[in-house]
């Protein structure tokens, strides 16, 4: 296993197992919060102290298991009981002592960082009474403290003074100190060989990059070609030189300025072109030495507007043109007739274009990654390392799954949406599962550069909240249960079925992601109605139903039902969800629900009916109108209510209010998706001053497409 600094454990240690502690000084903590912290700051000793107030009731052996970032010395009641100098934090040592009966146990740890092995001054410790298995570290008072000063008798002296500081302590679980590698909730995965249009860097560098353009690949083959009249010409990029339809002809000898334009589809770095004449033989290439191009200009453009002439030959005597030029970026290539003989028409059999650099875009999909058979994994966030030069882009997608059977069929979750959040992306996954897969989407607008994916790290836990958890939604209506009229408010039941066993942690939070704002009416479990404020708290937002249960659910449940109302505006409306366990001291990795597709169930609701526009004028309401913002509590503000349809992703929405001179007196910009919205205007301008009485014009504009027109109307202000 790769050696890692324990500072990287901190974001992962979220579950509590009382008594197993990860303790660090501010030096290690600073490394996390300040990326400029240098390794020289760690080459020193740190002295840690605490007192176990749960004293032994009899003189029994106490066992301490400990490991540190580098070297350590363990003291109990002032006596050195164990030391380690191997610098290997992955292996822990166990020390046995017999503390005095009925007295507090003074625990001291000196951590010495030599700067050779790791950066940091943290250690991990566990302690218990052998006979009773009572944990010694469950009642430490005060908490762990540390100092950088070698204070006299520091192992037993008072440590409440100003020279001592509070240590950063993390309770950890799902780990065994005798096998410290279990503390690693990450698996670093250097990416492997490339596929399709991505390739690895040489010398096993472990990076994925865009494929290089081969100097022997004809970039023009099969590409779209037009002549100077705009007519399509297929024959000059088809790779065929034989036959009556395998060439382009100017028809007349007076062809000066005639041209053919090739669209390569994507920008490339171009450096070579071949212009082939027609063949006089149908089986063997015999170049036409009369009608070949006598002079030519090669012009290249990125936008089909501004062209650069990269080559000009007014005296061409070679029927087969094969020439190179300075590497030039371009997508469009024009071959212009620049000289004629006034006798022969110009006939071109084929045009070939060659380049260098990188292809514009590519996709790399990893092989299924096996996380082991011991326990299925509950996946958390994924982070990745990449070099992304300006002008390039990298997005990542993820999924989880498992083989269905020995036939090679797989059960996979849907690919997550492309993400650029390299610092951490939590993705929807089938959980718990054994296999993980990622997909890298690479793009560059500059053919001479490429993004480089260097490493992917997946966070996971081995103890799920539930062995399996399923979700489905049903519309409460007489007709088809999963079809509703678009825009109408309908009642729904979201049902969660959870299977828990003795290893499951349980959950106290349910989140249902909603396509529009939803309103919870009630919650019941197995037919028993729960009381809001007593059994649960409704923390629903405009994007999710959030139910927090007062007491964790620790057993299997056949039907946890959430009754809610919503108006839907998309053709297909999905309601995925996840479970979580959150308390003041614990925040676990959430677990996504699986879609329950048994007996015709689903978490998708489909709509029927007609919605003409993204924003429809007849669904805009401004009430009250007029408004009278005089502070008397009556009509002091107006509410602009509008409906957005068809948008499954947030788009920019702007509301503006103009006076009759066309001046904007108030505006609000926001990002909205399909839903019903209400925005208040209190009669004040952009400076917070009340506007004069009179007639005003409102405008609602959605940045959707060119056919989405703004909606305007009037609102009156009176005093």
Number of structural domains the chain divides into: 5
Query: Where does 277-374 show beta strands of DSSP type E?
Result: 295-301, 308-313, 321-339, 347-348, 350-356, 361-365, 369-370
The pLDDT assigned to 199 comes to: 35
Q: Which residue has the higher pLDDT, 515 or 34?
A: 515
Within this chain, do residues 318 and 371 fall inside the same structural domain, yes or no? no
Task: From 251, 260, 264, select the one nearest 226 (Cα to Cα).
Answer: 260
Which tokens is 166 given?
Answer: 């509070």
| 417-423 contacts at long range (C-beta below 8 A, 24 or more positions apart) | 419/395, 420/393, 420/394, 420/395, 420/396, 422/383, 422/384, 422/385, 422/386, 422/396, 423/383
pLDDT band of 478, cuts 50, 70, 90: low
φ, ψ for residue 9, nearest 5 deg: -75, -25
Task: From 403, 388, 558, select the one nearest 472 (Cα to Cα).
Answer: 558
**Residue 170, domain member (yes or no):** yes
Task: From 620, 621, 664, 622, select the one nearest 645 (Cα to Cα).
Answer: 620
Contact between residue 652 and residue 669 where contact means Cβ atoms under 8 Å apart:
yes
* End-of-domain residue from the set 319, 335, 356: 356
Contacts with 193 (C-beta within 8 Å, 6 or more apart), sequence order: 199, 200
Task: From 127, 138, 141, 123, select the one nearest 61 (Cα to Cα).
Answer: 127
pLDDT band of 120, cuts 50, 70, 90: low
Q: What CATH number is given to the structural domain containing 691?
A: 2.60.40.4070
pLDDT band of 118, cuts 50, 70, 90: very low
**N-to-C CA span, the chain:** 76
Task: From 125, 136, 119, select the one nearest 175 (Cα to Cα).
Answer: 125
Contact between residue 514 and residue 543 where contact means Cβ atoms under 8 Å apart:
yes
Cα 201 from Cα 438, distance rounded (Å): 19
Within this chain, do residues 561 and 647 fall inside the same structural domain, yes or no? no
Question: At residue 15, does pLDDT exceed 60?
Answer: no
In the predicted model, what is the mean pLDDT of residues 108-136?
70
* pLDDT tens per residue, range 254-299: 999 999 999 998 888 899 999 999 888 888 889 999 999 999 999 9
In the predicted model, what is the mean pLDDT of residues 565-569?
88
Within this chain, do residues 322 and 366 fall inside the same structural domain, yes or no? no
Q: What CATH number is given to the structural domain containing 508?
A: 2.60.40.740
CA 173, 175, 180, 182 dihedral sign is negative
**Residue 346, domain member (yes or no):** yes
The pLDDT assigned to 143 comes to: 74
Within this chain, do residues 241 and 204 fall inside the same structural domain, yes or no? no
pLDDT band of 2, cuts 50, 70, 90: very low
Which tokens is 58 given?
Answer: 């009899």
For residue 250, the Cα-to-chain-centroid distance in whole angstroms is 54
In the predicted model, what is the mean pLDDT of residues 577-587?
78
The pLDDT > 70 percentage for the chain reads 81
pLDDT band of 586, cuts 50, 70, 90: low
CA 651, 652, 657, 661 dihedral sign is negative
Q: Which of 214-223, 546-555, 589-598 holds the top average pLDDT?
A: 546-555
Q: What's the Cα-to-Cα distance from 170 to each of 29, 143, 248, 405, rounded to whole Å?
A: 12, 12, 75, 41
* End-of-domain residue from the set 305, 337, 356: 356
The pLDDT assigned to 353 comes to: 95
For residue 512, the surrounding DSSP H or E stretch is: strand 507-513
The pLDDT assigned to 402 comes to: 83
Within this chain, do residues 109 and 129 fall inside the same structural domain, yes or no? yes
In the predicted model, what is the mean pLDDT of residues 441-454?
85
DSSP 660: T
The pLDDT assigned to 283 comes to: 81
Question: At residue 481, does pLDDT exceed 70?
Answer: no
Within this chain, do residues 583 and 697 fall inside the same structural domain, yes or no? no
Collapsing DSSP to helix, strand or coil, 169 comes out as strand
Task: From 657, 715, 649, 644, select the one nearest 686 (Cα to Cα).
Answer: 657
Cα 122 from Cα 170, distance rounded (Å): 11
H-type alpha helices, 130-249? none
Task: From 386, 434, 437, select the one nearest 415 (Cα to Cα).
Answer: 437
Q: What CATH number is given to the structural domain containing 424?
A: 2.60.120
In the predicted model, what is the mean pLDDT of residues 605-627?
82
Cα 133 from Cα 113, distance rounded (Å): 32
Task: From 399, 431, 395, select the one nearest 412 (Cα to Cα).
Answer: 399
Cα 581 from Cα 525, distance rounded (Å): 18
Question: At residue 515, does pLDDT exceed 90?
Answer: no
* pLDDT tens per residue, range 639-696: 998 888 877 778 889 999 999 888 899 999 888 878 888 899 999 999 999 999 999 9
The pLDDT assigned to 378 comes to: 82
Contact between residue 640 and residue 622 where contact means Cβ atoms under 8 Å apart:
yes
**Residue 681, domain member (yes or no):** yes
pLDDT band of 611, cuts 50, 70, 90: low
Task: From 65, 67, 22, 70, select the one nearest 45 (Cα to Cα).
Answer: 70
In the predicted model, what is the mean pLDDT of residues 405-424?
81
Q: Which residue has the higher pLDDT, 150 or 473?
A: 473
pLDDT band of 63, cuts 50, 70, 90: confident
Within this chain, do residues 80 and 117 fall inside the same structural domain, yes or no? yes
Within this chain, do residues 171 and 206 fall inside the same structural domain, yes or no? no
Question: At residue 72, does pLDDT exceed 90?
Answer: no
pLDDT band of 612, cuts 50, 70, 90: low
The pLDDT assigned to 285 comes to: 87
* End-of-domain residue from the set 573, 591, 608: 608
Within this chain, do residues 372 and 349 fall inside the same structural domain, yes or no? no
The pLDDT assigned to 168 comes to: 60
The pLDDT assigned to 690 comes to: 93
Q: Which residue has the higher pLDDT, 519 or 4?
A: 519
The pLDDT assigned to 10 comes to: 26
**Residue 466, domain member (yes or no):** no
The pLDDT assigned to 86 comes to: 67
**Residue 217, domain member (yes or no):** no
The pTM (predicted TM-score) of the whole model is 0.53
Burial of 160 (0-12, 13-18, 19+ CB in 10 A): exposed
Q: What CATH number is given to the structural domain containing 344?
A: 2.60.120.260
pLDDT band of 224, cuts 50, 70, 90: very high
**Residue 469, domain member (yes or no):** no
**Residue 265, domain member (yes or no):** yes
**Residue 218, domain member (yes or no):** no
Q: Which residue has the tokens 């964790």?
A: 552
In the predicted model, what is the mean pLDDT of residues 614-620?
80
Cα 171 from Cα 135, distance rounded (Å): 13
pLDDT band of 531, cuts 50, 70, 90: very high
* pLDDT tens per residue, range 171-216: 443 333 333 332 222 222 222 223 333 333 333 345 778 877 777 8
Dump the DSSP string for 55-99.
--SSS--EEEEEEESSEEEEEETTEEEEEE-S--TTS-EEEEE-P
Contact between residue 547 and residue 520 where contact means Cβ atoms under 8 Å apart:
yes
The pLDDT assigned to 486 comes to: 82
Question: At residue 36, does pLDDT exceed 70?
Answer: no
The pLDDT assigned to 138 comes to: 62
Within this chain, do residues 536 and 650 fall inside the same structural domain, yes or no? no
Cα 293 from Cα 314, distance rounded (Å): 10
Within this chain, do residues 627 and 597 fall inside the same structural domain, yes or no? no
Cα 106 from Cα 651, distance rounded (Å): 61
Domain of residue 709, residue span: 617-717
pLDDT band of 23, cuts 50, 70, 90: low
Cα 641 from Cα 713, distance rounded (Å): 12
Within this chain, do residues 320 and 454 fall inside the same structural domain, yes or no? no
Contact between residue 481 and residue 601 where contact means Cβ atoms under 8 Å apart:
no
Cis bond leading into 624, ω under 30°? yes
């Amino acid at each position: 296993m790769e050696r890692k600094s324990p500072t990287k454990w901190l974001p992962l240690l979220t579950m509590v197992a009382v008594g197993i502690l990860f303790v660090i000084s501010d030096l290690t903590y600073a490394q996390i919060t300040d990326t400029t912290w240098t390794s020289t700051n760690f080459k020193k000793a740190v002295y840690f102290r605490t007192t176990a107030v749960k004293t032994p009731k009899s003189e029994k052996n106490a066992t301490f298991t400990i490991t540190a970032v580098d070297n350590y010395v363990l003291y109990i009641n002032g006596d050195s009981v164990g030391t380690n100098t191997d610098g290997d934090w992955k292996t822990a040592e166990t020390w046995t002592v017999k503390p005095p009966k009925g007295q507090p146990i003074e625990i001291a740890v000196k951590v010495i960082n030599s700067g050779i092995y790791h950066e940091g001054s943290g250690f991990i410790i566990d302690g218990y009474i052998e006979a009773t298995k009572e944990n010694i570290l469950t009642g430490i008072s005060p908490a762990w403290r540390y100092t950088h000063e070698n204070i006299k008798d520091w192992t037993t002296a008072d440590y409440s003074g100003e020279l001592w500081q509070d240590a950063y302590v993390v309770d950890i679980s799902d780990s065994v100190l005798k096998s410290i590698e279990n503390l690693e909730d990450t698996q670093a995965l250097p990416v492997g060989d490339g596929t399709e249009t991505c390739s690895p860097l040489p010398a096993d560098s472990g990076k994925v990059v865009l494929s290089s353009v081969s100097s022997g690949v004809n970039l023009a083959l099969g590409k779209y070609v037009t002549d100077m009249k705009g007519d399509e010409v297929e024959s000059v990029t088809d790779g065929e030189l034989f036959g009556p339809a395998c060439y382009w002809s100017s028809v007349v000898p007076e062809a000066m300025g005639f041209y053919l334009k090739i669209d390569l589809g994507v920008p490339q770095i171009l450096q070579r072109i071949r212009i082939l004449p027609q063949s006089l033989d149908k089986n063997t290439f015999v170049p036409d030495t009369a009608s070949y191009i006598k002079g030519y200009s090669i012009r290249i453009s990125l936008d089909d507007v501004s062209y650069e002439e990269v080559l000009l030959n007014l005296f061409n005597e070679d029927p087969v043109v094969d020439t190179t030029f300075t590497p030039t970026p371009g997508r469009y290539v024009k071959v212009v007739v620049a000289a004629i003989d006034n006798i022969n028409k110009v006939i071109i059999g084929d045009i070939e274009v060659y380049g260098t650099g990188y292809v514009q875009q590519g996709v790399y999909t990893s092989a299924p990654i096996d996380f082991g058979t011991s326990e299925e994994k509950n996946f958390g966030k994924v982070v990745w390392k990449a070099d992304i030069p300006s002008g390039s882009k990298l997005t990542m997608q993820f999924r989880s799954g498992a083989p269905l059977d020995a036939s090679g069929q797989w059960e996979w979750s849907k690919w997550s949406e492309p993400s650029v959040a390299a610092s951490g992306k939590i993705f929807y996954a089938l959980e718990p599962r054994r296999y993980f897969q990622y997909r890298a989407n690479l793009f560059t607008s500059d053919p001479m550069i490429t993004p480089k994916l260097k490493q992917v790290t997946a966070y996971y836990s081995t103890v799920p909240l539930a062995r399996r958890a399923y979700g489905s939604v049903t519309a409460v209506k007489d007709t088809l249960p999963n079809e509703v009229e678009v825009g109408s408010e309908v009642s729904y039941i979201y049902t969660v079925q959870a299977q828990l066993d003795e290893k499951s942690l349980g959950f106290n939070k349910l989140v249902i992601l909603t396509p529009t704002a939803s309103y919870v009416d009630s919650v019941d479990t197995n037919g028993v109605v729960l009381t809001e404020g007593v059994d649960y708290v409704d923390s629903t937002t405009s994007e999710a139903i959030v139910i927090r249960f007062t007491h964790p659910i620790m057993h299997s449940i056949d039907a946890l039902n959430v009754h809610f109302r919503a108006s839907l505006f998309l053709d297909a409306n999905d309601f995925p969800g996840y479970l979580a366990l959150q308390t003041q001291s614990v925040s676990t990795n959430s677990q996504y629900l699986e879609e329950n597709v048994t007996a015709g169930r689903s978490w998708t609701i489909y709509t029927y009916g007609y919605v003409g526009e993204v924003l429809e004028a007849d669904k805009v309401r401004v009430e009250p109108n007029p408004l009278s913002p005089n502070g008397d509590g009556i009509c002091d503000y107006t509410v602009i209510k509008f409906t957005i349809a068809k948008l499954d992703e947030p788009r920019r929405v702007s509301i503006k209010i103009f006076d009759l001179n066309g001046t904007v007196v108030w505006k609000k910009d926001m990002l909205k998706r399909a839903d019903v919205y209400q925005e208040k205007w209190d009669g004040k301008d952009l400076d917070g001053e009340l506007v004069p009485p009179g007639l005003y014009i409102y405008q609602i504009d959605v940045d959707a497409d060119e056919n989405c027109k703004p909606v305007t109307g009037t609102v009156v202000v009176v005093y």
